Amino acid sequence: MNYLAHIFLSGNQDGIKIGNFIADFVPGKKYLNYPEDIQKGILLHRKIDTYTDAHPIFRHSKKRLFGDFRHYSAVIVDMFYDHFLARNFTDYSEQPLEVYVSSFYALLKKNQHLLPDNVKRVLPVMMKYNWLLSYRELDKLQDILKQMNNRTRHNSNLHHSISILKTDYSLFYDDFQVFFEDILEAKKEMHKSLKID
């Protein structure tokens, strides 16, 4: 799962959202340096990643891309699934995506003192190009993948995956729908295990 899905699966608590958002930038036991609600968000992020990586539908989506993109295929599927969530956000939330994203950016700005340095560096770029909202449009998603490609060690051509998405759009969307219903159900147990209300 990528940024939008992770934030959405956090529920309504601000600290959980922040923790889930920064989790990839907080290695090992360094999560213990944060307030309890942010710790829970970081641990929730890790549970979501473990669940996602093992899910047969996610693996099925990944397999469609593996021949061309090898180990980057999981990253691409994360982005594709965020695209479908953004595109169909009102199926899962009463709040329009524009409002949801805007309030999340405001939350991050208000709590910048809690963000790791590398998140502080990427945040202005994320907000300038409005990544979370941009996932909705394929051309903008392609631009984000191109930016990511420029930061990879090898020329991974991540942005070329959009042509595969266009060709097999309904197949990836079907995968997403099944997967997302499953993870929404699994999220309840994850929240319960972490004592997230």
* Cα gap 114→64, rounded to integer Å: 38
* Cα gap 36→44, rounded to integer Å: 12
Confidence of residue 87 (pLDDT cuts 50, 70, 90): very high
Do 22 and 116 contact (CB within 8 A), yes or no?
yes
Do 162 and 143 contact (CB within 8 A), yes or no?
no
pLDDT tens digits, residue range 171-180?
999 999 999 9
Confidence of residue 50 (pLDDT cuts 50, 70, 90): very high
Closest CA to 41 of 56, 54, 59, 24: 24
**Is this prediction's pTM over 0.85?**
yes
Tell me how many domains the chain contains: 1
Q: Which domain holds residue 29?
A: 3-193
* Cα gap 123→130, rounded to integer Å: 10
Report the pLDDT value the prediction gives residue 149, as an integer from 0 to 100: 78
pLDDT tens digits, residue range 5-27?
999 999 999 999 999 999 999 99
* Cα gap 44→113, rounded to integer Å: 21
Confidence of residue 147 (pLDDT cuts 50, 70, 90): confident
Do 131 and 148 contact (CB within 8 A), yes or no?
no
Higher per-residue confidence, 21 vs 71: 21
Report the pLDDT value the prediction gives residue 53, as an integer from 0 to 100: 95
* Cα gap 1→128, rounded to integer Å: 22
Q: Evaluate if residue 152 carries a pLDDT over 80.
A: no
**Half-sphere CA count of 99, side-chain side, radius 13 A:** 6
Q: Evaluate if residue 77 carries a pLDDT over 80.
A: yes
* Cα gap 190→167, rounded to integer Å: 35
Do 111 and 104 contact (CB within 8 A), yes or no?
no
Q: How far apart are the first and last CA of the chain?
A: 22
Contacts of 88 (CB under 8 A, 6+ apart): none
Instruction: Please work out, in degrees rounded to the nearest 5, the angle formed at the alpha carbon of residue 64 by the alpha carbons of 50 and 152.
Output: 70
Q: Evaluate if residue 47 carries a pLDDT over 80.
A: yes
* Cα gap 83→180, rounded to integer Å: 12
